[in-house]
Structure 1
Amino acid sequence: MSDEPRRGRLTVYLGAAPGVGKTYAMLGEARRRVERGTDVVVGYVETHGRRHTVDMVGDLEVVPRREVEHRGTTLTEMDTDAILARKPQVVLVDELAHTNVPGSPREKRAADVAVLLDAGIDVITTVNIQHLESLNDEVERITGVRQRETVPDEVVRTAEQIQLVDMSPEALRRRMAHGNVYQPDRIDASLTSYFRVGNLTALRELALLWVADRVDDALGDYRRAHDIDHPWPTKERIVVAVTGGAESETLLRRGARLAQRAAGSELLAVHVIASDGLRNPDERRIARAQQLVASLGGTFHSIVGEDVAGAVVDFATASNATMVVVGVSRHGRLRKLVAGTTGDRIASLAGSVDVHLVTHDQVSRGTRRRSIVSPLSRGRQVAGWATAVVMPVLLTWALQAFRDTDQLPLAEMLLLAGTVAVALVGGLLPALVAAVVSFFALNYFFTPPTGRLTVAEPANLTALLVYVAVAAGVATVVDRASRRAGDALRARTEAATMSSLSRSVLTGQDTAEAIVERVREVFGQASVSLLAQGRLGWEVMAHAGPSHACSPDEGDTRVKVDDDHILCLRGEPLRATDQKVLEAFAVQTSLVLEYRRLREREQRAATLESAEATSTALLRAVSHDLRTPLATMRASVDGLVGGEVGAADRATLLESLDSSTDQLEGLIDNLLDLSRLQSGLVHPVLRDRSLDEVLPLALAGQPPGAVVLDVDEPAPVVHTDAGLLERVVANLVSNAVRVSSAAAGGAGEPVRVLAHVLPTRVEVMVVDRGPGVPAEQRERMFEPFQRLSDTTPGGLGLGLAVAQGLTLALGGELSAEDTPGGGLTMVLSLPRSALGDRACRGPGSDAP
C-alpha cells in the first residue's frame, strides 16, 4: 500500500448562468451529507442577500472569514489556514473563479481549493459557465461583457463529479422579476442587458455542450484505462467508407437514411488516402462527396493509411461507431479471387461493429484501366528513345578494348547503369528497350563464344537473364518513383490552386473578372474569356489578357460553365490533369453566376413587393388617417370664421386646430423621412456626441412626468449624428408614451430611458409598461404602415419604420424585447466612441 496521503475529492456545481441556483444546490448537498454523519463546514458562501440561500445555510458550521486591509478598506476572504486547522471532511467553497484581494497568500481562490485538496479535504465548489477560460471570448461575443475572473478549464475537468445546474431562460427571468436574484432597483437593468433571453439561451447551450464533451472524455478515458478496444454503442454512429468513385453519393445517402432511424445519430464519412500514393481518386467526386455530407448533417474525414480496410476499421473503432457502410467492390473476378475485396477485409476486421454492404450501379461497370501514357514531356520521351539505342552501342564500342579478357561482369554493371539512366530520362518503355538491346550486346560481344548469339556456359545464360530481370525491375522502380514525384508535384499545384480559389471566393472576390484573371495566371494562357449566349450570339461577360476576347471557334481550350456560358482559353493546350482543375474553376464560375442571378432576382422582387405594399398602405393612410386631422382643421376654421362663438369655444377651437396641425405636420414629416430613406437620400454626419447632449432634446416634447431619464454617469459618448439620433429616440419615446397612456386609460407608469455601456457599443433602452407586442408580430412591427394592436388615434404606423431606417443609417441596430412584468423594451444599439472607453461590469458579483 502507498504511504502517500489521500487527496481530497473535488465536486463542482456548474451554473449555466448566474442566478440558476448553484449555491442553493451546493448547500442542499451539504445538508444531505450532514444528515449522513459527514463533518461539513462552510468555508465561503456568498448569499447575495437572497432569503432562500440564507435559510439554506441555516445551522451549518461556518468558518469565520479572514479580514484583509486594501487601500483603506477592510475586505473579507476565505480563511484557508483556519479550515486546514479545523480539518473537516468536506468544505463548501463558493465562486471558484474568484480573485483574492491583493495581499492574500494566494492570488486565486482556485489555488486555495488546491491546497485544501492536497490536505485530503473534500471540496464542493461552484462556478458559472461564463467563467471558464476557454469560453471567455465566446461569452464576450454573446453578451458584450469581458469576464475578468476566470478559471482554467483543467481545474474544473479534474473534478471527480460535475453537476450541471440548469434552468430555462424564461424561468430564470421570472425568478429575477420576482426579486429572488437581485434587489428590486437592479432588476430592470439586469433583465434588459445581460439577462436577455438570447444571452441566457446561448450560455445554456455552451454549458450543455461543455458538459457533453466532458462526458465523452470520461467515457474515452474509461475505455482506455480498461483497454477496451471494441466500441460501446452509446449512440448510433454510422461511418461511410468513401472511395472517391461514382458510387460515393449512393453510399452516403444510404448511410444518412440509416442514421435517421435513431434520434441523436451521427454520420461520419471517411476517405482513406493511400500512403504509397499509388491510388489517385477523382478529386471532383471527393469534393462533391464533402458537400453532400455537409448537406446531410454529417462530417467528412480524410485519413492516411497503407491498408484501406484496416484504416477504416481503426477510424470506426476510435469513433465508437456502431456501423460501417461500404460499397460492393467494382474489381473483376480475378482480382477478387487473388486479393479479395475491401468490404470482405473490413467485415473480417470490424469485430463488434456492424458492416453494411451496399450494392450500386457501378458494380457492373468495373474499374477503368489505368492509362499507360507517359506523363513525361515530348522532349524527354524523344531523348529517352534515342538514349535507349545509342547508350548500348556506345558502351559496347568503349568496352571492345577489353574483349580479350573476361569483362562480362564489368559490361553488365555498366550497361545496367546505362539502363537506369535511360529510365531517369525517358521512363519505363525506353528503359526496357535499352535492357533488351543490352542483353543482345552482352550475349554477342562479351559472352563466350563471342560473335554468336549462343551461350556455352549455363552460368552465363543465368547471368544474362538475371541482368534483364534486374534491369527491368530497376527501370520499373525508377519510372514509378518519377511518376509519383510528378503526381505529388501536380497534386501540390492543384491543392494550392484550389486553396487560392477558395480564399478568393471566401474573401469576396467572387466576380467573373477575378475568376478569369485567376484562370489565366494559373494555366499560363495568353487570354481567357467568359462568354454568355445572347440573342446575337456569344457575348463577352469578362476577359483577361492583352489580346482581344476570343470566340468559341478561336479558343484553344473550351470548358462549359452551364448551358449559357463557357470559358474560352487561348494559349498552350492543357493536359488532362489540368482539365480537372479547370472544370473546378468552371463549377465555381457557375456558382458565382447563379448566386448573382439569385441576388438580382431577390432584390428586384423585394423592391417590387415593398413598392406595392408601400403604395397600397399609403393610399389607405391618405384616405383615412390624413383626412382625420384635415377634417378637424376644416371644422375648427369654419367655426372661427362664423364669428358667433364665445371666448371659451374659440379657445377650444384654436387648441383643436393647433393639435391637428401638429398631428398633420408629424404625419407628413414621417412620410418625407420614409421617402428619403427609401431613395437613399439620408447622409448622416457622424461625430462623437455625449448622450446627455442628445437625450434631453429628444424628450423635450413629452408631457411632464411621462418619461424618466436614467443614464450612467459620466454619460456615454457615441459616434453618431446628433440630429438623426434625436429623431430616432423621439419617435421611440413618443410611441412608448402613447401606448402606455392608452393601456392605463390615461396617465400610466412613466416610460424609462436607460443607457448601458458595452465594450464596443452603447445601448439606449426605452422601457414602457404598455400591452407589449407578441413575439410573432415583431418582425412586421418595423415595416411601414404597421399599426398591429395599436389602436390609438393619430398615427400611420411609420414611427418605428422611420426609427429603424435612421438607426441603420447611423450604423446601429434597433430591436424589441419583452419588459419583465409587461410591456415592451426598445433597444437601440449604437457604436461607442473611442473617447468613451471605461470599465464596464455586469450586475452582481457572481455575474459578469
Structure 2
Amino acid sequence: MTPATLSPIAGRLGNGRPGRLKVFLGAAPGVGKTYRMLDEGRRRAERGTDVVVAFVECHKRPHTEEMLSGLEVLPRAVRDYRGTSFTEMDTDAVLERAPQLALVDELPHSNVPGGRHAKRWEDIDDLLAAGIDVITTVNIQHLESLNDVVEKITGVPQRETVPDEVVRRAHQIELVDMPAEALRRRMAHGNVYAPEKVDAALSNYFRVGNLSALRELALLWVAGRVDEALQKYRSEHGIGRVWETRERVVVALTGGPEGETLIRRAARIADRSAGGNVLAVHIARSDGLADASPAALARQRALVESLGGTFHSVVGDHVPTALLDFARAESATQLVMGTSRRGRLAHFLTGRGVGETTVEQSGDIDVHMVTHERARRGRLLATPSSSLPRVRRVAGPLTGLVIPILLTVLLSHTRDSLNLTTDALLFLLAVVGVACIGGVASALLASITASLLLNWFFIPPIHRFTIGETNNVLALAVFAVVAVTVATVVDQSLRLSRRAANATAEAETLSSVAGSILRGDHTVEVLLRRTREAFGMDSAELVRRTGPDGGTGDTDADTVAAPVGPDDVLVLRGRRLAASERRVFVAFAGHVAAALERARLAEAAAEVEPVKAADRMRTALLAAVSHDLRTPIASGWAAVSSLRSRDVAFSDEDRDELLATAEESLARLNRLVDNLLDMSRLQAGALTLHLLPTALAEVLPPALDSLPETAVPVVTQGVADAADILADPPLLERVIANLVTNAVRHTPPGKKVLVSASALGERVELRVIDQGPGLRAEDRDRVFEAFQRMGDTDNATGLGLGLALSRGLTEAMGGTLTPEDTPGGGLTMVVSLPAATPAAFEEEALA
C-alpha cells in the first residue's frame, strides 16, 4: 500500500501523526510478554481508547486466553499454501477498522506467501504509517544482531529474525523479566508448554545456564537502548555536563611503556562499579608525525580489548583539548593519565605539561594521575644520529667553507658595480644553499665564514677585522642573525619534510599489511614473506628464544631481531636497518605476533572441536533418549502392569487392546535401539554388509508393513518393473522404512506419499515423494545430521536419526541419498544404487 492510499485512513483517525510503537521484550518464551500486552490493552480500553486485537497467539495458555475477555478480536485472514490452510493477521481489515491501538503478537513472524509483506514487522509499519498505535512482543533471540550469539548459547538456530533497527525505533521498549528458576517453575506447572513437552524443554533450551545467559543479553541490550535515549536527550537539550549514570573510565595512552600500567589501573577503577566501561584513547597529531610506537600501541590495544574495553584513536594537535572533548563526548566520569615522563630540566624550561593542563580544564571529570617507573626519567623517543645521507654529511661542511670563498673571489671582480647591501644578500643566499645541502650545522659554519669574509673584503676599512661605521656593524649583525635564522628554518622544514615522507611510507607499508590481514592473508607465512619484501632482506623467519638473554638482540651486523611472543623471535637477515626502519619493523613484529597467536588459537580450537562435537552429540543423544525411549517403555509398562493386575477384570477386547499397546511399544523401542546401534556401527566403521542382487518388489512390501498405521496412503509406481540392484536387503528395507516414515509424517491429511522406481544408466533410482512443506535449500545438509528434527523441537517425533542413518546405510552400500523439491510443493528423497550387473559384481569383488 502506497502512502497515497494510507493518507485517507490517517485522516479518518484524525490525529495526522504516525502511530507509536511499543515493544514488550522478553529473554525467552513464557516470561509473560503476551499477557502483559493484553493487560495493557485492557487498561487502555477501560480508559476509553479504541483497542482491537489484530493478532495474538495464546499457545493454549488459559491465563493468557482469559485476558482476551472484553477485547475486540479481529478475524484472521486464511491463506492456503502447499495444500494447507494457515491464518495470518488481516492487515487490510485492521486498516479498514482504523482503531487507535492494535495489539499484534510475535513481531519477527514470517508471513505465509500471499499477503502484503513477507514479515509481520513490515505489516506493522503499514499500521504505524496509517496513524495506528501498535503494541507488539519479541524475544531477545529473534534480534538479528544477536542471532549467532543465541545459537552458540542454546545450540538452536533462530529462523525468525527482525532487524534491530525495527525494535530500536520503537517509542517505548519494556523489558518483561523473569528469573530462570521462576520460568522453569512456570513450565513445570504446565503454564507454558503442554505436559508431554515439558521434560524435553527443561533439559534442552530452558536449562538454567541458557536462560541466565539470555536474560543477561536482554538486560544489556535494553540498557544500551536506554543509554542511547539518554545521549539523544542530552544532545537535544544541549546538556554538556556529565551525568554519572554509569562509570565510563577513559585512559589516555601515549604509546609509551607506562600504557599497560594505566590500562590495568583503569580496569580496576571500572570494576568497582557494575557495568563500568573502559575506553582507551590515543591522541595522534594531525601532521602524522607522532613519536608513538606502533608496536606498543598494538600491544596496549590487545590488552584493552582482552579486559573488555575499547580502543580509540583521535587526531588533534592540542592533546588536553582533544582528550577532554573525547571524554565529554563519551560521557566519561573518570580520566586516567600517567605522570609526565619529562625530566626536571625540561619541566622547568617548558612549564606546565599535558597532565597539569588537563586537570585544570577537566571540569566535572575526575582525573587520576598514575605514577609509573618512567616518571620524570625523560622520554624514550627514537632519535637517530642523523637523517642525512653520508655524502651530504661530508659535503655540507665543505660547501660551508668553499662556497663563501668562491663567492668572495667572484665579488672581488665586481666591487665597483655592486654595493655592500647586494654583497650581503648574495652571501645570505649562499648560506641558505649550504643549509639545504648540509643542514643547520653546515649553515652555521657557512654563516661564520661569510661574516668574516664580508668583514675583511667588503666592509670598510678593507682587509681589517674592524668596522668603521656603526651602520655597517648593525648590517653585519643583522646578516649573521638572518643567516642563522633562515638556515635553521630551512633545515627544520627539510627535517619535517623527511619525517612526513617517512611517516607516509610507514603508513602505506602498515596499511598494506593491515589490508592483507583484512583480506584473509593473515597466515604467519604470508606475513613473513611480506616483512622480507618490505625491508628488502634476504630472509625472514621465526626462531625459538635461546641464551640467557632470550635471544632478542642482533647476532651480527646484518641481522635484526624483535620478540613476537614469550618463546619466539622474528629475525631478518640481509642488511642493517636504519633507526627509522626499526620502528616499522617492530610494528611488523606486532602483526606477526598477533597472527602467530591466532594460528595457535585456531590450532587449539581445531583440537577442541572433535571434543565439542562429541559433547554436542552426547547432549543431543541424552536429550532425545530421555523422551523417546521413556515413552514406549512407559506405555508398554503400563499395559503389562494393567494385565497383571488382579483388581480389574478385563474383557477379551480390552485385553487384546492392552496386548497390542504393549506389542507396539516394544516394537517402537526395538526400532529405536536398532537405529542407535546401527548409527554407532556406521560411525565406528564396523557395519557388516552382504551385498546381493535384490529386487525392490521383494524389499518394499515388508518395509511398508513395518510402518505404524497412518491416514496418509502410500502408493507405489514402477517398482515391479525395476531392475535388480546390488544391496543388502535388510539394510535397504531399513532405509525405505525410514524414508517413508519421514514422508508420511510431513504429508498433510488428504495427500499421499508416492514411492517410484526407475533406471538411470547402470543405476536404479528409488524416489520417496511427499507433498508436505518441503525443505529450505540451506537445510538440505543439516537434515542428514544426527538428532536433527527440521521444524520440530519438542522431541515428540523420534530421535532424529532416521535420515542420518538412511544416508549412512545407503552410502555404505555404494549408493547416494539426495533431497529434491517435489513439483507443486513437498520433498523428494532420491536413493540411487548400482544395478546388479556383472560389472557391478566385479567392482564389489575387487573392493
Matched, 1:478 2:493: yes
Structure 1: distance between partners of 2:258 and 2:117: 63
- The structure-2 alpha-carbon separation of the partners of 1:158 and 1:597, relative to structure 1 and needing over 3 Å to count, comes to closer
Structure 1: distance between partners of 2:235 and 2:458: 67
Provide structure 1 residue ranges, at least 5 long, that are not aligned to the other structure: 541-550, 606-665, 678-690, 716-754, 768-812, 840-848
Amino acid at match of 2:469: A
Matched, 1:241 2:252: yes
Q: Deviations over 1:471-522 (max 9, x none)?
A: 1342243233234224414532663586489779x867346xx776555434
Q: CA deviation at 1:766?
A: 7.8
Q: CA deviation at 1:576?
A: 2.6
SS in 1 for 2:782: strand
SS in 2 for 1:573: coil
Q: Which of the residues 564, 573, 577 maps onto 1:574? A: 577
- The structure-2 alpha-carbon separation of the partners of 1:571 and 1:709, relative to structure 1 and needing over 3 Å to count, comes to closer
Pairs within 5 Å for 1:246-325: 246-325=257-336
Structure 1: distance between partners of 2:166 and 2:597: 51
Q: Contact 2:560–2:576 at 8 Å: present in 1 too? A: no
Q: Deviations over 1:700-725 (max 9, x none)?
A: 899x99xx97886599xxxxxxxxxx
Matched, 1:509 2:529: no
Q: Deviations over 1:217-262 (max 9, x none)?
A: 1111111122222222122222222233333333233323323333
Tell me the equivalent position of 2:643: none
- The structure-2 alpha-carbon separation of the partners of 1:518 and 1:62, relative to structure 1 and needing over 3 Å to count, comes to closer
- The structure-2 alpha-carbon separation of the partners of 1:68 and 1:395, relative to structure 1 and needing over 3 Å to count, comes to farther
SS in 2 for 1:288: helix
Amino acid at match of 1:484: R
Structure 1: distance between partners of 2:799 and 2:87: 41
Tell me the equivalent position of 2:50: 39
Q: Contact 1:447–1:460 at 8 Å: present in 2 too? A: no
Q: Contact 1:455–1:461 at 8 Å: present in 2 too? A: no
Pairs within 5 Å for 1:274-673: 274-337=285-348, 338-367=350-379, 371=383, 373-394=385-406, 403-405=415-417, 416=428, 418-440=430-452, 454=467, 456=469, 458=471, 460-461=475-476, 463-465=478-480, 467-489=482-504, 491-492=506-507, 495-496=510-511, 499=514, 509-510=523-524, 520-527=532-539, 556-557=558-559, 559=561, 570-582=573-585
Q: Contact 1:22–1:126 at 8 Å: present in 2 too? A: yes
Q: Contact 1:762–1:829 at 8 Å: present in 2 too? A: no
Amino acid at match of 1:319: E
Q: Contact 1:555–1:568 at 8 Å: present in 2 too? A: no
Structure 2: distance between partners of 1:111 and 1:528: 57
Structure 2: distance between partners of 1:563 and 1:115: 60
Structure 2: distance between partners of 1:158 and 1:603: 41
Q: Contact 2:200–2:795 at 8 Å: present in 1 too? A: no
Q: Contact 1:100–1:109 at 8 Å: present in 2 too? A: yes
Q: Deviations over 1:731-766 (max 9, x none)?
A: xxxxxxxxxxxxxxxxxxxxxxxx999636425688
Q: CA deviation at 1:163?
A: 1.4
SS in 1 for 2:274: coil
- The structure-2 alpha-carbon separation of the partners of 1:64 and 1:470, relative to structure 1 and needing over 3 Å to count, comes to same
Structure 2: distance between partners of 1:675 and 1:80: 56
Pairs within 5 Å for 1:85-124: 88-97=99-108, 110=121, 113-114=124-125, 116-117=127-128, 120-124=131-135
Amino acid at match of 1:574: L
Q: Deviations over 1:50-81 (max 9, x none)?
A: 44433211111234556789999997665666
Q: CA deviation at 1:379?
A: 2.5
- The structure-2 alpha-carbon separation of the partners of 1:124 and 1:580, relative to structure 1 and needing over 3 Å to count, comes to same
Structure 2: distance between partners of 1:106 and 1:269: 45
TM-score normalised by length of structure 2: 0.62
SS in 2 for 1:472: helix
Q: CA deviation at 1:460?
A: 3.1
Amino acid at match of 2:324: V
Structure 1: distance between partners of 2:106 and 2:42: 19
- The structure-2 alpha-carbon separation of the partners of 1:15 and 1:711, relative to structure 1 and needing over 3 Å to count, comes to farther
SS in 2 for 1:836: strand
Q: CA deviation at 1:273?
A: 1.9
Structure 1: distance between partners of 2:111 and 2:794: 37
Amino acid at match of 1:324: L
Q: Which of the residues 224, 230, 238 maps onto 1:227? A: 238
Q: Deviations over 1:110-152 (max 9, x none)?
A: 45544544555432223444554555676788867574674x4
Q: CA deviation at 1:196?
A: 8.3
- The structure-2 alpha-carbon separation of the partners of 1:824 and 1:589, relative to structure 1 and needing over 3 Å to count, comes to same
Structure 2: distance between partners of 1:478 and 1:581: 23
- The structure-2 alpha-carbon separation of the partners of 1:401 and 1:235, relative to structure 1 and needing over 3 Å to count, comes to same
- The percentage of aligned residue pairs carrying the same residue is 45
Tell me the equivalent position of 2:711: none
Provide structure 2 residue ranges, at least 5 long, that are not aligned to the other structure: 1-13, 609-675, 688-702, 705-724, 748-752, 754-774, 809-815, 823-847
Q: Contact 2:284–2:315 at 8 Å: present in 1 too? A: yes
SS in 2 for 1:362: coil
Q: CA deviation at 1:299?
A: 2.9
Q: Which of the residues 759, 771, 776 maps onto 2:779? A: 759
- The structure-2 alpha-carbon separation of the partners of 1:262 and 1:670, relative to structure 1 and needing over 3 Å to count, comes to closer
Q: Contact 2:431–2:483 at 8 Å: present in 1 too? A: no
Structure 2: distance between partners of 1:221 and 1:168: 31
Amino acid at match of 1:258: I
SS in 2 for 1:57: coil
- The structure-2 alpha-carbon separation of the partners of 1:469 and 1:26, relative to structure 1 and needing over 3 Å to count, comes to same
Q: Which of the residues 212, 225, 240 maps onto 2:223? A: 212
- The structure-2 alpha-carbon separation of the partners of 1:6 and 1:528, relative to structure 1 and needing over 3 Å to count, comes to closer
- The structure-2 alpha-carbon separation of the partners of 1:108 and 1:267, relative to structure 1 and needing over 3 Å to count, comes to closer
Q: Contact 1:231–1:353 at 8 Å: present in 2 too? A: yes
Q: Contact 1:92–1:125 at 8 Å: present in 2 too? A: yes
- The structure-2 alpha-carbon separation of the partners of 1:565 and 1:43, relative to structure 1 and needing over 3 Å to count, comes to closer
Q: Contact 1:432–1:475 at 8 Å: present in 2 too? A: no
SS in 1 for 2:239: coil
Q: Contact 2:256–2:292 at 8 Å: present in 1 too? A: yes
Structure 2: distance between partners of 1:134 and 1:756: 22
Pairs within 5 Å for 1:810-825: none
- The structure-2 alpha-carbon separation of the partners of 1:53 and 1:409, relative to structure 1 and needing over 3 Å to count, comes to farther
- Counting matched residue pairs gives 661
Structure 2: distance between partners of 1:598 and 1:376: 45
Say what the alpha-carbon RMSD is for the aligned residues: 5.9
Q: CA deviation at 1:412?
A: 5.6
Q: Contact 2:270–2:277 at 8 Å: present in 1 too? A: yes
Structure 2: distance between partners of 1:503 and 1:81: 48
SS in 2 for 1:233: coil
